């Protein structure tokens, strides 16, 4: 007599666990997340330790719930005027409907980004966390 | 028959079954009673010189074989041939066919015996000198009766004795870094048989050998020589002195070895009158970005004058954008704005776009377009900068002005710096500073430095200070730095405050530990209102075995940043382990990481929601490769896995194969192949999975190199056409320019073919000779010319090791003011001594080893020959000149004179002289009638 009740309880528990595990991001439901999929024009400045600039494109190629992945492709102009091409993978999360946090690996070093998204543009700051004298700067993007 | 090896045997006995004492044998008269003893040899033994009036027909019996001849005498027992009747008296004669092969008296007689009773003779035989391998007849024994004669050859079986020598043409090679030189060597077979060997040229890592006949067998006749040459190419970063080994292999085993030191000429070394090297490069790239991208660059590097070095660069298009910048880098083209550096031992000027620093408090990371001057003197040094932060690409204005002076009278140093720095634009920084500093050496084995300063920025003024301590020994190091620089990166400091420490210590011959700690805080430049960093690491490195090393490191790092959007931070705790091994040319490495990542984000929109994400991460990287002078090949692979939203990808993997600088078969060493393929999976989707690259490098004449490559790299062109290819071609040529001025010693090294110490017509210069004066080094050019730096009033040296064998200088120390150095060609001369056979009977007691052979030159100077054997003498190195060869027979028993004219030889250009044969004859005795009244 108790077996059907137990079975339904297990099914309900499984659905609950599955629903909770399906979305581990800070956002409570996927429906609230803005889509960041697509190509963004990316422009950034470096403020420390040396001035510099980066420009290129940010391509978000996949998004699952609030987690997204892609690649950043930029040309960096160093303070000395030298240029170099940097390409690296991107992985991030939508913190809420207007704030995105993502990390990109450029030249083997990670750069953390925090950006506010307003429709088809984004803007924020980045930090390169390597050693005691980090690289910092700001960046912006427009959806293409 | 029997053979017994003894250490010495001078006795001579015979046996006929009835033992006879040796006196009976010794009592036998040589060639007695007119018995026949044929002249069997021209070697001149006493027995062989007797002439028989009656010649009996002789037969030859089976040879007696000594299995393994050596210089140690063996007792040989030779039975009287059975064909000779026992009832007959037998005389015998032992005729040595090789001088010294038989010891003792050589003739005798055996009495008749009863039938069936064996008779034999005993004597000692040996190989008196190295003999050719195989069977060699040492002597001939002739048994004679009244009616017949039988000869028994004594044959020695000689084992092969391998003796291969290898000698380089020069014991010191000279080469410029990145260039090639010819390494010559001579193989000599001093063994007793023809031989076949191969030569392996062992070069240091990074060096290459061009030897089209590498590994091929080299046949050398007995006592023959073979000359070979190989090209050795030094790596671009070679410096100092290296050693090359020449290893001779016979049947895979080393049998001889020789080493050659190679002096690498660096940038400060002057070859002839050469100046800086101008490298011109043109490159073009084609790809999906559209128009053909091209760029031309110039780089000038090297000694502008004897004391001044220049480095300069310029590019026709320093601001290439997009994929072409990456593509052009494949042709070794660096896109950069123009820059210039001039430097001497006491000063340096940098102009164009460049960067510099004054001090921790007076400004670091000053980058702009302008000039910096640095002066270094024994008691003081100074630096000044004047530049604009506008480097052409960034929208920046302002000025960078500052200077620093330091007095260094002894252990203590005092310094002061002044700076006025302003940069506005996209990134604004500002600082006015004045600082005082001190530095002390030998503080607890290290160096301490401190600085205090007043910093003015953003309308406010604050005091800053810094201190550093650094100590380095063979077994440990310690570096500690603390800086308090108000204003931080907004005011030309690295951060507002930082504490950095690192240390290492060797705990034993195979184990060392390292550690580091850092903590910093900055007020942020513009986009950040605050930034903190911190972390530590602790690791150990150990040598686990021959060529095997391992390491284990624990580390933690974190940062926190505050922006107008909110705050975000990240932290990682990780454990890294690696294991690497090397065996011969094979190397392998495996590294693993296990980490825990933590991200914190706080949105500053009033809600102050704090989001924390945590996830583990694991990663494995492995590589295995092999490399030698003909190229390298390596396999790589990696796998990373982390939680969703943390790290660069939830799962990422790749594996690849790379071939680098592989010499293309059949094209000599001028054509090298570079190729790589890598497959990437995980984060990248579809077309991002495979990168391919193939390229060729060719070294062409006139110091020109060509690079072509094709690459399919979806990471470089993710948008346009990930599967498309880009193509690059680049040509580079290096030209050596003359130097602007010379204060050094200019001169020439030439081949003094006639030995008169003057350079005459037809005496060419000597290429590749190394000269030194203190730290200054020079090498002669193709015409023998050189330009050697240093004080002209001081003498200099010529490195005789850089001269080929057979050439020498009268003195390796060259007096000041000497500009022409004659190198003498020397020639060996072999002299064969012989006695006149026509009169050998009276001269046989002469020991030729007692003779002294002398060469007397036109100036009357004597050169003594080295004796190599009883009948040979060698002059190893006779300089150019005309010589009269004399023989001093004072020590000989008999008075000797040279038959014929007194020999003369002429040595001119180092050519090999033919052996000289000198025949000697005892001086004739004069008989005269005594005069009356005299005895």
DSSP helix/strand/coil, A21: helix
- For the record, the structure tokens of B810 come out as 């009268």
Q: What is the pLDDT of residue B687?
A: 43
Cis ω for the linkage preceding A49 (within 30 of 0): yes
- Strand-pairing partners, residue B240, are none
Q: How far apart are CA B336 and CA B868, in angstroms?
A: 68
Q: Give the whole-angstrom CA distance, residue B443 versus residue B469.
A: 9
Beta strands in B3-158 (DSSP E): 3-5, 13-15, 58-60, 64-66, 74-79, 90-96, 102-103, 107-110, 120-125, 134-144, 149-158
Instruction: Using alpha carbons, select from B321, B747, B703 the residue that is nearest to residue A43.
Output: B321
Contacts of A67 in chain B (CB under 8 A): 644-645
Which residues in chain A touch residue B314, judged by CB atoms under 8 angstroms apart? none
Average pLDDT in the B830-856 region?
Answer: 73
- pLDDT tens-digit map of B480-504: 999 999 998 889 888 899 999 999 9
Beta bridge partner(s), residue A137: A46, A126
Residue B237 contacts A, CB cutoff 8 Å: no
Q: What is the DSSP letter of B865?
A: P
- What sign results for the dihedral spanned by CA atoms B326, B332, B334, B335? negative
Residues B669 and B652: beta-carbon distance below 8 Å? no
- A137–B531 C-beta distance less than 8 A: no
Listed in sequence order, the residues at least 6 apart from B591 whose beta carbon sits closer than 8 Å to its beta carbon are B576, B577, B578, B579, B620, B621, B622
pLDDT of residue B573: 93
* pTM for the full predicted model: 0.59
Backbone angles phi, psi at B398, to 5 degrees: 120, -160
Query: Is A39 in contact with B603 (Cβ distance < 8 A)?
Result: no
Please answer yes or no on whether B393 and A81 come within 8 Å at the CB atom. yes
Question: What is the C-alpha to C-alpha distance for residues B672 and B663, in angstroms, rounded to an integer?
Answer: 4
Encode pLDDT of A97-142 as tens digits.
888 999 888 767 788 999 988 888 888 999 987 666 678 888 988 8
**B852-893: pLDDT as tens digits:** 889 988 888 888 888 877 788 888 888 888 889 988 877 776
The nearest CA of chain B is from the CA of A64 a distance in Å of: 10
Mean pLDDT over B354-368 rounds to 87
* B352 pLDDT above the threshold of 50: yes
Is B800 in a helix, a strand, or coil?
A: helix
CA distance B343 to B301: 11
B residues 541-570 lying closer than 8 A (beta carbon) to A? 557, 559, 561, 563, 565-566, 568, 570
Q: Which phi and psi (to 5°) does residue B688 adopt?
A: -85, 20
DSSP single-letter state for residue B765 = B
B586 vs chain A: nearest CA distance in angstroms? 26
| Res. B805: pLDDT tops 80 | no
Give the separation between CA B630 and CA B628, rounded to whole angstroms: 5
Contacts of A57 in chain B (CB under 8 A): 718-719
B493 interfacial to chain A (CB closer than 8 Å): no
Question: What's the pLDDT at B406?
Answer: 95
Q: Are strands B610-628 and A135-143 parallel, antiparallel or unpaired?
A: unpaired
Q: Could you tell me if B652 lies within 8 Å of chain A, comparing CB atoms?
A: yes
Q: Is B495 on the interface with A (CB under 8 A)?
A: yes
If you average pLDDT over every residue of chain B, what do you get?
A: 80
Which pair of tokens denotes residue A28? 């409570």
- DSSP of B36-60: ------SS--TGGG---SS---EEE
Backbone angles phi, psi at B71, to 5 degrees: -65, -20
Rounded percentage of chain B residues whose pLDDT exceeds 90: 19
The answer to whether the CB atoms of B601 and A99 lie below 8 A apart is yes
Contact residues on chain B for A53, CB-CB shorter than 8 A: 393-394, 426
| Residue B67 CA: distances (Å) to CA of B100, B462, B868, B931 | 18, 100, 28, 65
Asked whether residue B785 carries a pLDDT value surpassing 70, the answer given is yes
Asked whether the CA dihedral B48, B54, B55, B61 is positive or negative, the reply is negative
pLDDT at B59 over 50: yes
Query: Measuring CA to CA, which residue among A108, A140, A109, A106 is closest to residue A122?
Result: A140
Question: Is B336 in Cβ contact with A80 (below 8 Å)?
Answer: yes
Contacts of B649 in chain A (CB under 8 A): 69, 89, 91
The per-residue pLDDT for B212 is: 66
Sign, CA dihedral B24-B26-B27-B28, equals positive
- How far apart (Å, rounded) are the C-alpha atoms in residues B651 and B667? 44
Of residues B590 and A62, more confidently modeled: B590
> Lowest-confidence range among B47-51, B515-519, B676-680?
B47-51
Q: Which two tokens stand for residue A89?
A: 């993978």
Alpha carbon separation from B154 to B126, B137, B139, B406, B556 (Å, rounded)? 10, 6, 5, 92, 88
Q: Percent of chain B having pLDDT more than 70?
A: 83
Question: Which of A73-77, B90-94, B431-435, B908-912 has the lowest average pLDDT?
Answer: B908-912
Which residues have CB under 8 Å from B932's CB, separation 6+? none
Which residue in B325, B355, B559 is closest to A79 by CB distance?
A: B355
Cα B246 from Cα B170, distance rounded (Å): 13
Percent helix / strand / coil, chain A, rounded to 5 = 15, 55, 25
If you ran DSSP here, which 8-state letter would residue B130 be given? -
- CB B353 within 8 Å of CB B391: yes
Confidence of residue B372 (pLDDT cuts 50, 70, 90): very high
> How far, in Å, are A56, B51, B457, B874 from residue A125 at the CA level?
16, 117, 23, 86
Asked if pLDDT for residue B933 goes beyond 60, the answer is no
Among A43-52, B392-401, B780-789, B833-842, which stretch is predicted with the lowest mean pLDDT? Answer: B833-842
For residue B105, is pLDDT > 50? Answer: yes
Asked if pLDDT for residue B813 goes beyond 80, the answer is yes
Tokens 């671009």, residue located: B236
Q: β-pairing, B866-867 with A121-128?
A: unpaired
Question: pLDDT (tens digit, 9 = 90+) per residue, B505-542?
Answer: 988 878 899 999 999 998 766 678 888 989 999 999 98
Which residues of chain B neighbour A79 with C-beta distances below 8 Å? Answer: 355, 365, 367, 391
Buried b (16+ CB within 10 A) or exposed e, B646-659: bbbbbebbbebebb
Whole-Å CA distances, A132 to A49, B519, B601: 11, 6, 21
Contact B189, B220 (CB under 8 A): yes
> Please, which pLDDT band fits residue B478 given cuts at 50, 70 and 90?
very high
Strand boundaries in B344-411, DSSP class E: 347-356, 366-376, 380-388, 396-407
**Tokens standing for A71?**
């690649």
B777, two tokens: 């080094």
Instruction: Answer yes or no: is pLDDT of B552 > 90.
Output: yes
Nearest to B582 by CA among B619, B620, B628, B513: B628
d(CA B106, CA B228): 49
Q: Which helix H or strand E contains A112, and what residues bound it?
A: strand A109-118
Q: Indicate the DSSP class of residue B363.
A: B
Q: Whose CA is closest to A99, among B411, B285, B564? A: B564
Q: Lowest-pLDDT range, A64-73, B468-477, B770-779, B916-925?
A: B916-925
Name residue, tokens 């790596």. B235
Task: State the pLDDT confidence band at B932, using cuts at 50, 70 and 90.
Answer: low
Q: What is the CA radius of gyration of chain B?
A: 43
> What is the average per-residue pLDDT within B751-761?
82
- Residue range B661-686: mean pLDDT, rounded: 77
Which of A48, A82, A104 comes nearest B525 by C-beta? A48
pLDDT tens digits, residue range B264-277?
A: 875 444 454 567 88
Distance of alpha carbon B603 from alpha carbon B694, whole angstroms: 48
Q: Which of residues 303-322 of B touch A (CB under 8 A)?
A: 318-322
CB B620 within 8 A of CB B627: no
Say which residues have a Cβ less than 8 Å from residue B566's Cβ, sequence separation at least 6.
Answer: A99, A114, B601, B602, B603, B604, B605
**pLDDT 10s digits, B289-326:** 777 888 888 999 888 877 788 999 888 876 555 566 67
Q: What is the pLDDT of residue B1?
A: 37
Residue B522's closest CA among B512, B513, B532, B511? Answer: B532
Query: Across the interface, do A124 and B718 touch by the CB < 8 Å criterion?
Result: no
Q: In this complex, is the C-beta atom of B389 within 8 Å of any C-beta atom belonging to chain A? A: yes
Structure tokens at B811: 């003195």
B138-154: pLDDT as tens digits: 888 999 988 888 988 88
Pairing of strands B460-472, B446-457: antiparallel
């Amino acid at each position: 007599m108790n077996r059907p009740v137990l079975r339904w309880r297990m099914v309900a528990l499984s659905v609950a666990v599955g629903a909770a595990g399906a979305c581990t991001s800070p956002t409570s439901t996927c429906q609230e997340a803005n889509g960041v999929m697509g190509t963004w024009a990316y422009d950034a400045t470096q403020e420390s330790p040396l001035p510099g600039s980066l420009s290129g494109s940010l391509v978000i190629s996949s998004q699952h719930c609030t987690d997204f992945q892609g690649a950043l492709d930029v040309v960096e102009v160093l303070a000395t005027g030298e240029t170099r091409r940097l390409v690296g993978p991107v992985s991030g999360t939508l913190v809420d409907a207007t704030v995105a946090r993502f990390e990109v690996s450029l030249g083997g070093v990670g750069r953390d980004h925090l950006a506010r998204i307003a429709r088809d543009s984004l803007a924020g700051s980045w930090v390169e966390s390597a050693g005691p004298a980090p690289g910092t700067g700001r960046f912006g993007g427009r959806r293409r | 028959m029997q053979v017994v090896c003894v250490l010495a045997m001078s006795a001579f006995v015979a046996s006929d079954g009835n033992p006879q004492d040796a006196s009976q044998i010794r009592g036998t008269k040589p060639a007695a009673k007119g018995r026949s003893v044929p002249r069997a040899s021209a070697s001149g033994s006493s027995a062989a010189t007797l002439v028989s009036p009656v010649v009996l027909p002789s037969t030859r019996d089976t040879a007696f074989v000594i299995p393994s001849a050596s210089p140690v005498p063996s007792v040989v027992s030779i039975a009287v041939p059975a064909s000779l009747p026992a009832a007959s008296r037998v005389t015998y004669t032992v005729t040595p066919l090789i001088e010294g092969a038989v010891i003792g008296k050589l003739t005798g007689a055996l009495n008749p015996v009863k039938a069936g009773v064996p008779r034999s003779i005993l004597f000692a035989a040996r190989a008196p000198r190295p003999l050719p391998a195989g069977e060699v007849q040492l002597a001939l024994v002739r048994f004679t009766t009244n009616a017949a004669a039988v000869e028994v050859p004594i044959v020695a079986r000689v084992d092969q004795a391998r003796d291969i020598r290898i000698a380089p043409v020069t014991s010191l090679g000279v080469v410029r870094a990145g260039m090639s030189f010819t390494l010559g060597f001579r193989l000599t077979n001093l063994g007793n048989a023809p031989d076949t060997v191969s030569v392996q040229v062992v070069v240091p890592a990074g060096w290459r050998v061009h030897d089209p006949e590498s590994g091929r067998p080299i046949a050398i006749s007995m006592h023959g020589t073979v000359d070979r040459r190989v090209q050795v190419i030094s790596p671009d970063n070679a410096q100092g002195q290296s050693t090359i080994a020449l290893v001779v292999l016979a049947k895979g085993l080393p049998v001889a070895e020789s080493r050659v030191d190679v002096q690498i000429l660096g940038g400060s070394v002057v070859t002839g009158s050469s100046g800086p090297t101008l490298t011109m490069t043109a490159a073009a790239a084609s790809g999906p970005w559209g128009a053909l991208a091209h760029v031309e660059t110039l780089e000038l590097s090297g000694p502008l004058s004897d004391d001044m070095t220049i480095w300069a660069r310029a590019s026709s298009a320093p601001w290439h954008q997009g994929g072409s910048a990456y593509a052009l880098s494949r042709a070794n083209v660096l896109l950069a704005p123009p820059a210039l550096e001039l430097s001497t031992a006491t000063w340096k000027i940098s102009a164009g776009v460049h960067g510099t620093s004054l001090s921790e408090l007076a400004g670091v990371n000053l980058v702009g377009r302008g000039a910096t001057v640095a002066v270094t003197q024994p008691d003081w040094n100074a630096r000044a900068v004047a530049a604009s932060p506008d480097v052409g690409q960034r929208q920046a204005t302002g000025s960078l002005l500052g200077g620093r002076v330091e007095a260094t009278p002894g252990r203590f140093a005092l310094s002061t710096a002044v700076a006025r720095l302003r940069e506005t634009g996209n990134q604004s920084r500002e600082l006015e500073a004045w600082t005082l500093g001190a530095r002390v050496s030998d503080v607890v084995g290290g160096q301490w430095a401190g600085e205090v300063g007043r910093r003015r920025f953003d309308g406010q003024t604050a005091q800053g200070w810094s201190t550093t301590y650094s100590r380095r020994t063979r077994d440990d190091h310690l570096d500690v730095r603390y800086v308090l620089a108000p204003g931080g990166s907004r005011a030309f400091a690295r951060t507002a405050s930082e504490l950095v420490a690192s240390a290492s210590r060797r705990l034993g011959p195979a184990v060392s530990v390292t550690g580091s700690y850092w903590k910093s805080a900055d007020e942020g430049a513009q986009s950040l209102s605050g930034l903190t960093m911190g972390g530590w690491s602790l690791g150990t490195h150990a040598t686990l075995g021959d060529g095997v090393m391992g390491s284990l490191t624990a580390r933690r790092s974190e940062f926190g940043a505050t922006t107008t959007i909110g705050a975000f931070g990240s932290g990682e705790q990780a454990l890294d382990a690696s294991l690497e091994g090397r065996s011969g040319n094979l190397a392998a490495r495996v590294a693993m990481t296990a980490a825990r990542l933590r991200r914190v984000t706080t949105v500053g929109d009033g809600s102050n929601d704090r989001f924390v994400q945590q996830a583990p991460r694991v990663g494995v990287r492995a590589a295995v490769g092999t490399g030698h002078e003909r190229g390298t090949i390596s396999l790589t692979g990696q796998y990373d896995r982390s939680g969703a939203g943390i790290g660069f990808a939830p799962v990422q993997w790749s594996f690849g194969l790379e071939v680098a600088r592989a010499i293309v078969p059949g094209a000599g060493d001028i054509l090298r192949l570079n190729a790589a393929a890598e497959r990437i999976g995980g984060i990248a989707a579809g077309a991002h999975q495979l990168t391919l690259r193939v390229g060729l490098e060719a070294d062409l004449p006139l110091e020109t190199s060509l690079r072509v490559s094709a690459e399919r790299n979806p990471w470089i062109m993710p948008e346009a056409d990930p599967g498309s290819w880009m193509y690059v071609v680049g040509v580079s040529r290096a030209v050596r320019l003359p130097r602007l001025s010379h204060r050094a010693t200019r001169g020439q090294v030439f081949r003094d073919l006639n030995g008169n110490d003057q350079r005459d017509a037809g005496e060419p210069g000597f290429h590749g000779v190394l000269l030194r004066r203190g730290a200054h080094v020079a090498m002669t050019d193709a015409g023998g010319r050189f330009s050697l730096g240093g004080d002209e009033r001081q003498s200099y040296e010529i490195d005789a090791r850089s001269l080929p064998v057979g050439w020498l200088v009268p003195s390796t120390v060259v007096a000041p003011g000497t500009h022409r150095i004659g190198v003498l060609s020397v020639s060996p001369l072999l002299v064969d001594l012989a006695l006149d056979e026509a009169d050998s009977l009276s001269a046989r007691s002469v020991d030729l080893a007692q003779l002294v052979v002398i060469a007397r030159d036109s100036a009357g100077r004597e050169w003594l020959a080295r004796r190599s054997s009883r009948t040979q003498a060698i002059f190893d190195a006779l300089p150019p000149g005309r010589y009269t060869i004399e023989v001093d027979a004072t020590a000989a028993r008999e008075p000797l004179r040279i038959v014929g004219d007194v020999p003369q030889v002429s040595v001119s250009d180092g050519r090999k002289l033919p052996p000289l044969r000198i025949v000697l004859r005892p001086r004739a005795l004069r008989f005269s009638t005594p005069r009356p009244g005299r005895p």
